[in-house]
A and B are shown apart, each in its own frame.
Chain A
Amino acid sequence: MTKFIIRRLLLLIPILLGLTLLIFVFTRLLPGDPATTILGERATPENMAIVREALGLDRPLHEQYLQYMGGLLQGDLGRSFITNRDVVDDFLQRFPATIELSVAAILFAIAVGIPLGMYTAKRRGTWVDSAGTVVSLIGISIPIFFLGLMLKWLFAIQFPILPDSGRIDLVDYYVPRVTNFMTVDALLAGEPGGVIDALRHLVLPALALGTIPLAVIMRITRASVVDVLNEDYVRTAHAKGLRESVVDGRHILRNALLPVVTVIGLQTGLLLGGAILTETIFTWGGVGRWIYDAVTARDYQIIQSGVLMLALIFVLVNLVVDISYGFLNPRIRHS
């Protein structure tokens, strides 16, 4: 197992190096540059030349790349061209918001998706199963921006039982940011009401963001459970007179879980990459919106380093998923 982990970690080096080059080339292929964003209406050719020179964008591309890589190898991921903020600081400030939202969304998806998948699988061929299939199809197909806006309109404006946006009620609770996890910071600030309020702010975005993973998890769970239900050992367990709950938990679910865990890992990795639409609709200051804004503004430094950090996290999450296989099924050995 250790060897496997070391090999996977070493593989990261060429992957990330390749990524830096790819991202660098792609960002420079995009039309425009940060100078036009900074200047807006004032972007006359003379003004743009001044800004480009100031940002070093007038130098040959290979020089710019080598300078970026030089900084990267020394652990310097650079500063935003637009705000001059340190990219790592910016990332670390936003990533907790993304983690908070992603965890809430994936927990919602797991908590509802697995039981529903299991339930419909055990009633396959019935109307319950058909209804489940239809619901999961709707879940996968519904555009997030539509779902998000509808949830907001319904539960925050028409029937105002949940907050419409943001991470905490800024009027009621002043919570100094320490960890940038709002729930934790509210707790640290001695504001139990703030913790509940932060959780309430999580509900609508988590529902919007968790719907697609929920539908995917439900479908995979159903398919996997259906396969396992036909296995001899399940029949044997039933024949031995084991309780239904024991058969479900120990014999069916545990064996059906492997593909589900893979999907959960992939979905978590994707969610951690940021959810542009959800973050925009609910004004959630996470990394998705940050990267999107950087692309729109052609803030090369943020795009390059931000995407690199997200790629690293995605690969690491997948590694964790691979390692978890060994625990779920001892027959699987990595060598």
Chain B
Amino acid sequence: MRTWRWISVFAVLALVLVACGQQGISQPAEESDPPPAESGDAEPTDDGSMDGEPQSGGTLVFGGAALAASLDPALTSDGESFRILQQIYEPLVDLVPGTVDELEGVLAESWTGEPEGTEYVFTLKEGVTFHDGTPFNAEAVKVNFDRWQNFAEEFQGNAYYYGAVMDGFGADNLIESVEATDELTVTITLRDPSPTFLYGIALTPFSIVSPAVLEATNADDPTASTLGTETVQGGTGPFVMEEYIPDDSAVLARNEDYHGEHTAYLDRLIIRPISDPAARLQALQGGSIQGFDLIAPGDRSAVDGVDGFQLVNRSSYNTLYLGVNPTATDDSPLQDLAVRQAVAHAIDREALIEAFYGGGGSPADIFLPPTSGWFDSVGEGAEVYEFDPGAAQTLLEDAGFGADNPPTVNFWYPTEVTRPYMPDPRGLHEAVTTMLEDAGFTVETGSAIWGTEYIPAAQAGTYDLWFLGWTGDYDDPSNWYGVHFGFAQGEPAAAFACDPEGLEAAIDEAEATLEEGARGAAWSEVAQLVHNEVCFVTLVHGDTAIALTEEVRGYVANPTGSESFVDVWLSGE
């Protein structure tokens, strides 16, 4: 009998617990926070986001795939880290929201300097203070630039963007000098002209950190630095870091002294890491978060047009491509240009977009997405391969292949990963394999784990055909074609072994061409060589989307995924 008593007690306790909590089920903001200020009418806009008179107050819980890899902005290079850190830290300049090629001042009031020149003079905003109370000035900028340039070797691995933008570290890199000319003027002198310098320093890793915090956290000492791990008040952004619990949450609170047009509307912004996209959707539906990024294309219908939710589409700034390496295997049929062209004609990109991107994407005619300011000038003259299985078969026949002796290629895809440009690697691989087989290829398929096996093997030039993609860091063709097809010591990138005559010289020429019109034409030369030789087949620019509850307003999606929450507010409806 006692047994039953125990069970009864346990059951009653469980019921009480559930009942007690009924009133505490995760609430939309209006139930937890009294709606401050008067409410304005909110109407859906064309892009699905809502508009209206912003109100202050409330807490927004947003689901990311992960928290920050480091809390030291200079040591991060991934979007999840940027999402958190760019709310706290700010660079001198940033992209105008919604664009990829327009810059605006953030900590800099204005600047002078041209891509053809080597001197940039920044006039800084007056009256800005770091979250710790330290005044922001020219000396603070110099301290940060000097720190990055002199990073200890142990830091250099994680400081990817500094190395990439400034051509390495140390006294011989792109930066010749950084001078605090006066309290609010910084002069940065480059060793050589760099058309990407300004776009580079708009990235989150170039955010300025309070010198006092740098010193207090031993930020220059790889074995003792706590800047990347502790909750510190070193930024100038619209939010301050209140608490950071790895794998649990990043709690940001409004910076009441923010120097921008207005302080953040939200009292608090909490980022929760939820690695699984399906779990993020469930958390939104269950009410424990009010928004999340990178909704799986297949899940869009669960949010889009559904009462209580909204979907904010983000134009893509990425490209999925099929890497084509003619030297990966001996006697590869891909050594014949006609066979490579047959691969390009065999793939129905519209069908891929419909099946795997929920219709949210566009066929990638060239590597650069249409959102790029360089799209038209660089794309000029590059060969576009339309879906044409008949043409593919004819090309194979011309190359001496047929039903009796089909060309055999190996084709690989990564596992344990999804990317905005590659939402379902396995599904995409199956579809493209079928398309290639329909065109007359014999395909040997393979898969490997993304970070640990696939990437190194692909980069080493092991695979005939393979999926990979790219999300632009900043809007310059060098960040697309240059990064992928650049030569090192006279050798082409092993991943593609792309070495048509004149490519190396064309890339050197394009890198050195600074005037905008001429630069577009120079990179167009590169694009023509690469596309016409079918060094890769660009497939899809995949749009992404943010899922939000209806009450979230003011979220502006950026193609780069770099988004501030300063204008986000809760409607209280």
* B contact residues around A200 at 8 Å (CB): 17-18, 20-21, 24
Provide the bound-state CA to CA distance between A319 and B246, in Å: 31
Q: Is A89 an interface residue (CB 8 A)?
A: yes
How many angstroms between the C-alpha atoms of A47 and B484 in the bound complex?
13
- How many residues on B have C-beta within 8 angstroms of the other chain's C-beta atoms? 79
Report the bound CA distance from A74 to B351 in whole Å: 60
Q: Given the complex, which residues of B lie within 8 Å of A84, measured CB to CB?
A: 70, 75, 158, 222, 225, 228-229
**In the assembled complex, A94 has its CB within 8 A of some CB on chain B:** yes
Q: Is B405 an interface residue (CB 8 A)?
A: no
Closest chain-B Cβ to A167's Cβ sits at a distance in Å of: 7
Q: Is A313 an interface position by the 8 A CB rule?
A: no
B273 CB within 8 Å of chain A:
yes
B6-14, B374-382, B523-531, B555-563: which lies at the A interface?
Answer: B6-14
Stretch with Cβ within 8 A of B (4 or more), from A133-141, A158-166, A209-217, A229-237: A158-166
For residue A272, CB closer than 8 A to chain B, the reply is no
B1 CB, min distance to chain A CBs, angstroms: 7
A174 to B245, CA, bound (A): 13
A36 touches B452 (CB 8 A): yes
Q: Is B283 an interface residue (CB 8 A)?
A: yes
B229 touches A85 (CB 8 A): yes
**Smallest CB separation, B248 vs chain A (Å):** 4
State which of A16-24, A61-69, A254-262, A281-289 sits at the interface with chain B.
A281-289
Q: Mark B444-475, 1 if CB is under 8 A from A, else 0.
A: 00000101110110011000000011100000
- Tell me if B270 and A170 are in contact (CB < 8 A): yes
- Which A residues are CB-close (under 8 A) to B14? 203
The residue on B at minimum CB distance from A39 is B160
Once the chains bind, are B286 and A160 in contact (CB under 8 Å)? yes
Residues of B within 8 A of A180 (CB): 245
Shortest Cβ gap from B529 to chain A (Å)? 20
Contact check, B251 vs A174: say whether CB atoms are below 8 A apart. yes
Q: A54 an interface residue at 8 Å Cβ cutoff?
A: yes
Which positions 151-184 of chain B face chain A at CB distance < 8 Å? 153-158, 160, 163-164
A289 to B22 Cα, complex, angstroms: 29
Which residues of A sit under 8 angstroms from B273, Cβ to Cβ?
283, 285
Q: Which residues of the partner chain B approach A165 to less than 8 Å between Cβ atoms? A: 274, 279, 282-283, 286, 288
Give the docked Cα–Cα distance between A56 and B268 (Å).
40
Contact, CB under 8 Å: A153 / B229: no
Q: Scoring A residues 166 to 177 as 1 if CB is less than 8 Å from chain B, else 0, what string do you get? A: 110111101011
Query: Of all chain A residues, which has the CB nearest B59?
Result: A171
Given contacts A281-B279, A283-B283, contact A54 B451 (CB under 8 A): no
Verify A170–B61 contact, CB threshold 8 A. Answer: yes
Query: A44-B459, A93-B246 given. 17 additional CB < 8 A pairs?
Result: A39-B160, A44-B493, A83-B228, A115-B7, A153-B282, A160-B287, A163-B286, A169-B26, A170-B61, A171-B26, A196-B17, A196-B21, A200-B24, A203-B18, A249-B2, A283-B273, A283-B283
| Chain A residues within 8 Å of B, Cβ to Cβ | 30-33, 35-48, 50-55, 79, 82-86, 89-90, 93-94, 97, 111-112, 115, 118-119, 152-153, 156-157, 160-167, 169-172, 174, 176-177, 180, 193, 196-197, 199-200, 203, 244-245, 248-249, 280-281, 283, 285-286, 289-290, 296-298
Which residues of B pack against A, CB within 8 Å? Answer: 1-4, 6-7, 10, 14, 17-18, 20-22, 24-27, 29, 32-33, 59, 61, 69-70, 75, 77-78, 153-158, 160, 163-164, 222-223, 225, 228-229, 243, 245-249, 251, 268, 270, 272-276, 279, 282-283, 285-288, 416, 449, 451-453, 455-456, 459-460, 468-470, 483, 488, 493-495
A-B contact pairs, 25 of them (CB 8 A): A31-B453, A35-B157, A36-B456, A39-B77, A40-B78, A41-B469, A43-B456, A44-B495, A53-B153, A83-B228, A83-B229, A84-B228, A85-B229, A115-B7, A119-B3, A157-B282, A163-B21, A163-B26, A167-B248, A169-B25, A196-B21, A199-B17, A203-B14, A245-B2, A285-B247
